[in-house]
Chains A and B, each alone.
Chain A
Amino acid sequence: MVTVDILADLHDEDETGYVWTFLDEARQPSLIRPGTIVLAGDDDAPAVAEVIDLIPKETGTIVHLRILPGLFDDYEALVRRVRSLEDGTPGSPRA
């Protein structure tokens, strides 16, 4: 189980073609800036997403998210793999 950065219904798409949600659904709204990579959705089905833009509306600020390919687990495995290469973990090419 993980904790997402921003709650969203990944089915919610608008005229931009991106997933949308409200900025105040973020755990840490200051983190939500265009270009930032975040974990979005809900805790049992998170998706890695890029923040596209923030659009102020009368009922709150809309955040548009571009859902990136693959699962969170894929990104986690990537980070672990490259970190182990960096650390010279046995079995890695630098060991």
Chain B
Amino acid sequence: MDDLRPHIRVEPPPGDDVLVLRGGDDTVQSLRRHAERTHRAFALDGRSVYGLSVFCAIDELGQRQLYRRLASYPVLRASSVGRVRGAGFWLLPTFARPHFTVVLVSVEADELGRLLACFDPASQNPRYGHRRRRL
């Protein structure tokens, strides 16, 4: 099982006001499925970890990139780094920007519901259908 630790970027932690986005209208069930997939694939410091991928708009380029990457989703759900961290979740800068992993203690409904509550209700994606490219 691959460990996330070597894939954590060394960079200053994002500010509380940084935008956090996920495409689609997640539910507890969909979050659980995604977190379990991460749990199956990755460990953190040698222990299996539940995690959820999000994109963070850490700078202007990152914001453009993340909207392009989310072009397949008709709707988005937005939060902020402050709201996610304030709810007690770790937010690890993993792999390449603008990717982050929200670390979850479990996939119990309470835990997933607490994460969902950090996000605004789904809203229309202004970049839906725009060209998506790897940058």
Contact residues on A (Cβ < 8 Å of other chain), bracket: 20 to 34
Beyond the given pairs A10-B73, A14-B95, 8 more chain A to chain B contacts, judged by CB atoms under 8 angstroms and listed by A's residue number, are A10-B70, A11-B23, A14-B2, A22-B37, A42-B24, A58-B1, A62-B41, A67-B132
Given A17-B96, A45-B72, A11 contacting B37 (CB threshold 8 A):
no
A→B interface (CB under 8 Å)? 7, 9-15, 17, 20-22, 25, 41-42, 44-47, 57-60, 62, 66-71, 73-74
CA distance A88 to B71 in the complex (A): 34
| A74 partner residues in chain B, CB cutoff 8 A | 129
| A42 partner residues in chain B, CB cutoff 8 A | 24, 30
| B70 partner residues in chain A, CB cutoff 8 A | 10
Instruction: List 26 A-B residue pairs with CB atoms under 8 Å apart, sorted by A's residue number.
Output: A7-B33, A9-B34, A9-B53, A10-B23, A10-B69, A10-B72, A12-B38, A12-B53, A13-B53, A13-B95, A14-B7, A21-B37, A22-B37, A22-B40, A41-B72, A42-B30, A45-B72, A47-B72, A58-B1, A59-B1, A69-B133, A70-B129, A70-B132, A71-B71, A71-B72, A74-B129
CA distance A66 to B1 in the complex (A): 22
| B1 partner residues in chain A, CB cutoff 8 A | 57-59
| B134 partner residues in chain A, CB cutoff 8 A | 17, 66
CA distance A41 to B99 in the complex (A): 17
Does B82 interact with chain A (Cβ within 8 Å)? no
Contact in complex: B99, A22 (CB < 8 Å): no
A-contact 0/1 string along B44-55, CB 8 Å cutoff: 000000001111
Across the interface, name the chain B residue whose C-beta is closest to A62. B41
**Out of B38, B54, B95, B132, which one reaches A69, CB within 8 Å?**
B132
CA distance A22 to B34 in the complex (A): 11
| A11 partner residues in chain B, CB cutoff 8 A | 22-23, 34, 52-55, 69, 99
Does B14 interact with chain A (Cβ within 8 Å)? no
Across the interface, name the chain B residue whose C-beta is closest to A70. B131
Contact in complex: B72, A46 (CB < 8 Å): yes
Q: Which of B54, B72, B73 has the most chain A CB atoms inside 10 A of its CB?
A: B72
Contact in complex: B72, A67 (CB < 8 Å): yes
CA distance A47 to B23 in the complex (A): 12
